[in-house]
């Protein structure tokens, strides 16, 4: 038979070779440019976003292109009055959540509270025009705010230089936007995929814990507090000033926290009552402000927001600070907060789209998020994304389109123009209670328990993210979790499983004897399945492991007193998706080892990529095309035939005879 190139030449003889076996095809050669194009397409355009542009006239293409960038042009013309009624209610509902949350999170980021309101105005409008989710509600997030505070706090002391700090926050937001938009434009959105579910559960849980701990400052009415976020520093900071704890503040905080948590409890019990929980923060703020105003508690240790400037967002484009001293920090902060907020925003968009059965293009969403933050950074806003809690309220309130974001933005605008003085007496402790209540909902211990049950390694990733965030800092936790996740992928490839296969009774099917207790070995033949691509990282391992399987098998035969010696080793390559040059050298070596031990090597079901490379590297000639089989069953059949028809001769005679035969 010889060369593999012969295979396609004899057309009338295509399916079967002379020995009556199926042939294993070498895939038809592809020009390099074409296969490169294919690879690039699968890497960067797996969802084929240009599908709808195919075979369209240029004018239509232009319109489709505009609609692609500005989805509002697509759904806008079909917008109806009943939709508007639904969006109006949803928009007002999320505005009632956005105002207190915005103020709270801005405090968390060490920024002026008014920025929280600014940030619910402009970015929401940008997203309404460019975003493709119908349920996402735009706003700031607690974790991102805290992350920004801790990263920027490393280089600027906010007490000493609040203006520089503010400008760096705008600059970091600008870079967040730039980074997000770039990921989307260059179709690199899959980078976000490297944040696994387990990482996010652990990281979010840890961040929420840290945020809650930070609120103890507000609840206990403390003036001085550590800048570190880890649990040990925070605890030390709190218990070193027990004499400064204010019971008035703590009492107020606990009462409002109880109110917020119980309202959520009732809402959870009956989804129709979601508005109780949605309205709770605003009612807390109103009640708290009235209470302070009436009792003048601000003079008895209850800190209040104080003066808020009237008027909508001032421009901040001139405040962006590209000074080389701070640039690296600004860029780093921008990228880290960008990744985290993208991960949340994209996941939220996808979940609701999945629920309502429409499609979201992740890369397109990233461009929308990016533009929202770029425009935001020029109009006195800081980091925004699509927070889960607010989007869930939006969804429950029955929103139909992104118009609910416009309604929210306008409500916030009215607040900014006319209602800011009303927040003068809002006690900070109420804001802390709002944050704690929101954060307690984020700590998803049930998901962690689920991870433990299903996948111990995922649980380890989750736990290390949590511990890293809580005991070290947010960045360390994130790096640990991502590092572990990637290590797992590398370990999967570096230490692939090799399985011994046996015959399932009454069939020609061969399956792992560990999984199928009824599968039984074929005497004289060892069948191994390799469960991963054969790459440089695992070639040494696989060579050792295959040798060890052979040793084990021979030992077993010896101790069991079988007369039939091991004669054939069949490698099932079904699960070997790819092979590199190191892998081919390894197969060469395995072949040599087998030859020396008087064993014959057969391969079953190599895939297209593997066949192509075996052919190009001439390994097909080394092993002989007649030792490559379409299925394990056929390989066993051929080996058995040789074993039984000529078992007086030596193995090499047999194979020679067989290959001459073929």
In the complex, minimum distance from the CB of residue 280 to a copy of itself, in angstroms, rounded to a whole number: 30
Residue 168: its H or E element:
helix 162-185
Phi then psi for 517, rounded to 5 degrees? -65, -20
Question: By C-beta, is 153 or 607 nearer to a copy of itself?
Answer: 607
Nearest to 478 by CA among 462, 490, 491, 459: 462
Question: By C-beta, is 217 or 364 nearer to a copy of itself?
Answer: 364
Question: By C-beta, is 36 or 290 nearer to a copy of itself?
Answer: 36
Contact call for residues 429 and 249 (beta carbons, < 8 A): yes
CA separation for the pair 573, 528 (Å, rounded): 9
Residue 52: its H or E element:
none
Give me Rg for the CA atoms of the chain.
32
In the complex, minimum distance from the CB of residue 496 to a copy of itself, in angstroms, rounded to a whole number: 7
CA separation for the pair 387, 137 (Å, rounded): 7
Question: By C-beta, is 148 or 198 nearer to a copy of itself?
Answer: 198
Nearest-10 Cα torsion for 614, 618, 621, 625: 20
Look up tokens 């990482």; give the residue: 199
Look up tokens 């192509």; give the residue: 612
> Could you give the 3-state DSSP secondary structure of residue 479?
helix
Question: By C-beta, is 33 or 81 nearer to a copy of itself?
Answer: 33
In the complex, minimum distance from the CB of residue 351 to a copy of itself, in angstroms, rounded to a whole number: 9
Question: By C-beta, is 5 or 514 nearer to a copy of itself?
Answer: 514
In the complex, minimum distance from the CB of residue 485 to a copy of itself, in angstroms, rounded to a whole number: 7
Nearest to 376 by CA among 31, 102, 15, 9: 102
**Residues in CB range of 297: below 8 A, 6 or more apart:** 248, 252, 291, 427
Contact call for residues 364 and 408 (beta carbons, < 8 A): no
In the complex, minimum distance from the CB of residue 165 to a copy of itself, in angstroms, rounded to a whole number: 33
Q: 529: which strand partners?
A: 499, 572
Question: By C-beta, is 90 or 532 nearer to a copy of itself?
Answer: 532
In the complex, minimum distance from the CB of residue 265 to a copy of itself, in angstroms, rounded to a whole number: 26
In the complex, minimum distance from the CB of residue 339 to a copy of itself, in angstroms, rounded to a whole number: 14
Give 195-257 as a 3 state SS string.
CCHHHHHHHHHHHHHHHHHHHHHHHCCCCCCCCCCCHHHHHHHHHCCHHHCCHHHHHHHHHHH
Question: By C-beta, is 302 or 530 nearer to a copy of itself?
Answer: 530
Question: By C-beta, is 277 or 464 nearer to a copy of itself?
Answer: 464
In the complex, minimum distance from the CB of residue 190 to a copy of itself, in angstroms, rounded to a whole number: 6
Look up tokens 């309404």; give the residue: 128
Q: How many CB atoms lie within 10 A of CB 484?
A: 22
Query: How is residue 106 written in tokens?
Result: 């801005």
In the complex, minimum distance from the CB of residue 453 to a copy of itself, in angstroms, rounded to a whole number: 6
In the complex, minimum distance from the CB of residue 368 to a copy of itself, in angstroms, rounded to a whole number: 17
**Residues in CB range of 331: below 8 A, 6 or more apart:** 175
- Please state, in angstroms and as integers, the Cα–Cα distance from residue 424 to each residue in 24, 290, 416, following that order: 79, 10, 13
Question: By C-beta, is 5 or 48 nearer to a copy of itself?
Answer: 48
In the complex, minimum distance from the CB of residue 45 to a copy of itself, in angstroms, rounded to a whole number: 10
Q: Exposed, middle or buried: residue 339 (CB in 10 Å: 0-12, 13-18, 19+)?
A: buried
DSSP string, 99-138: HHHHHHHHHHTTS-THHHHHTTTHHHHHHHHH---SS---
In the complex, minimum distance from the CB of residue 27 to a copy of itself, in angstroms, rounded to a whole number: 5
In the complex, minimum distance from the CB of residue 57 to a copy of itself, in angstroms, rounded to a whole number: 20
Half-sphere exposure of 642 (CA within 13 A, CB side): 29
Q: Exposed, middle or buried: residue 366 (CB in 10 Å: 0-12, 13-18, 19+)?
A: buried
CA separation for the pair 136, 346 (Å, rounded): 10
Half-sphere exposure of 193 (CA within 13 A, CB side): 7
Question: By C-beta, is 184 or 221 nearer to a copy of itself?
Answer: 184
In the complex, minimum distance from the CB of residue 42 to a copy of itself, in angstroms, rounded to a whole number: 6
Contact call for residues 71 and 375 (beta carbons, < 8 A): no
Query: How is residue 567 written in tokens?
Result: 């004669």
In the complex, minimum distance from the CB of residue 360 to a copy of itself, in angstroms, rounded to a whole number: 11
Query: How is residue 456 written in tokens?
Result: 């111990």
Nearest to 271 by CA among 184, 419, 396, 128: 396
Question: By C-beta, is 30 or 650 nearer to a copy of itself?
Answer: 30
CA separation for the pair 181, 186 (Å, rounded): 8
Question: By C-beta, is 29 or 314 nearer to a copy of itself?
Answer: 29
In the complex, minimum distance from the CB of residue 187 to a copy of itself, in angstroms, rounded to a whole number: 12
Question: By C-beta, is 101 or 539 nearer to a copy of itself?
Answer: 539
Question: By C-beta, is 261 or 630 nearer to a copy of itself?
Answer: 630
Question: By C-beta, is 489 or 564 nearer to a copy of itself?
Answer: 489
């Amino acid at each position: 038979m010889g060369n593999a190139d012969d295979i396609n030449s004899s057309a009338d003889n295509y399916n079967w070779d002379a020995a009556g076996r199926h042939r294993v095809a070498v895939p038809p050669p592809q020009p390099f440019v074409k296969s490169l194009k294919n690879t690039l397409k699968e890497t960067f355009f797996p969802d084929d976003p240009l599908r709808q542009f195919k075979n369209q006239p240029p004018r239509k293409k232009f319109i489709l292109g505009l609609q692609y960038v500005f989805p509002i042009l697509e759904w806008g013309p079909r917008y109806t009055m009943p939709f508007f009624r639904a969006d109006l209610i949803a928009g007002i509902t999320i505005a009632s959540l956005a105002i207190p949350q915005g103020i709270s999170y801005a405090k968390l980021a060490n920024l002026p509270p008014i920025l929280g309101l600014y940030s619910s105005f402009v970015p929401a409008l940008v997203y309404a025009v460019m975003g493709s989710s119908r349920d996402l509600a735009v706003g700031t997030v607690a974790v991102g705010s805290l992350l920004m505070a801790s990263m920027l706090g490393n280089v600027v002391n906010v007490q000493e230089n609040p203006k520089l700090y503010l400008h760096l926050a705008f600059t970091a937001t600008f870079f967040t936007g730039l980074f997000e938009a770039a990921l989307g434009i260059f179709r690199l959105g899959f980078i976000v995929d490297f944040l696994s579910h387990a990482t996010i559960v652990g990281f979010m849980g840890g961040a929420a814990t840290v945020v809650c701990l930070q609120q103890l400052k507000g609840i206990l009415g403390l003036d001085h507090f550590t800048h570190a976020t880890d649990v040990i520093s925070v605890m030390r900071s709190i218990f070193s000033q027990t004499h400064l704890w204010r019971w008035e503040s703590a009492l107020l905080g606990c009462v409002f926290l109880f109110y917020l948590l119980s309202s959520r409890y009732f809402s959870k019990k009956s989804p129709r009552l979601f508005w109780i929980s949605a309205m709770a923060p605003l009612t807390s703020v109103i009640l708290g402000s009235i209470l302070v105003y009436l009792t003048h508690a601000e003079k008895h240790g209850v800190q209040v927001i104080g003066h808020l400037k009237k008027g909508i967002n001032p421009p901040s484009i001139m405040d962006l600070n590209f000074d080389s001293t701070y640039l690296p920090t600004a860029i780093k902060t921008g990228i880290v907060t960008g990744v985290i907020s993208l991960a949340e925003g994209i996941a939220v968009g996808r979940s609701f789209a999945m629920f309502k059965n429409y499609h979201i293009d992740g890369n397109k969403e990233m461009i929308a998020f990016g533009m929202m933050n770029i425009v935001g950074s020029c109009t006195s806003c800081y980091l925004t994304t699509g927070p889960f809690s607010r989007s869930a309220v939006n969804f429950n309130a029955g929103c139909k389109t992104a118009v609910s974001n416009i309604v929210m933005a306008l409500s916030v605008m009215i607040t900014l123009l006319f209602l800011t003085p009303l927040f003068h007496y809002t006690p900070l402790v109420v804001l802390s209670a709002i944050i704690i209540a929101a954060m307690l909902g984020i700590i998803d211990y049930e998901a962690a328990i689920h991870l433990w049950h299903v996948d111990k390694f995922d649980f380890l990733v989750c736990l290390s993210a949590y511990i890293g965030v809580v005991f070290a800092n947010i960045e360390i936790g994130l790096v640990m979790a991502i590092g572990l996740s990637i290590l797992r992928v590398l370990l999967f490839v570096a230490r692939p499983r090799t399985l011994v296969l046996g015959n399932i009774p009454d069939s020609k099917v061969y399956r792992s004897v560990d999984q199928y207790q009824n599968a039984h070995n074929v005497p004289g033949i060892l069948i191994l399945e390799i469960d991963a691509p054969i790459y440089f990282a695992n070639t040494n391992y696989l060579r050792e492991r295959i040798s060890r399987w052979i040793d084990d098998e021979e030992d077993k035969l010896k101790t069991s007193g079988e007369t039939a010696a091991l004669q054939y080793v069949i490698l099932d390559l079904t699960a070997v998706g790819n092979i590199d040059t190191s892998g081919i050298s390894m197969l060469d070596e395995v072949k040599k080892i087998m030859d020396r031990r008087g064993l014959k090597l057969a391969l079953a079901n190599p895939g297209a990529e593997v066949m192509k490379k075996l052919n190009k590297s001439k390994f097909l000639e080394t092993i002989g095309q007649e030792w490559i089989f379409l299925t394990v069953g056929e390989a066993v059949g051929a080996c058995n035939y040789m074993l039984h028809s000529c078992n007086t001769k030596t193995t090499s005679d047999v194979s020679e005879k067989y290959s001459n035969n073929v």
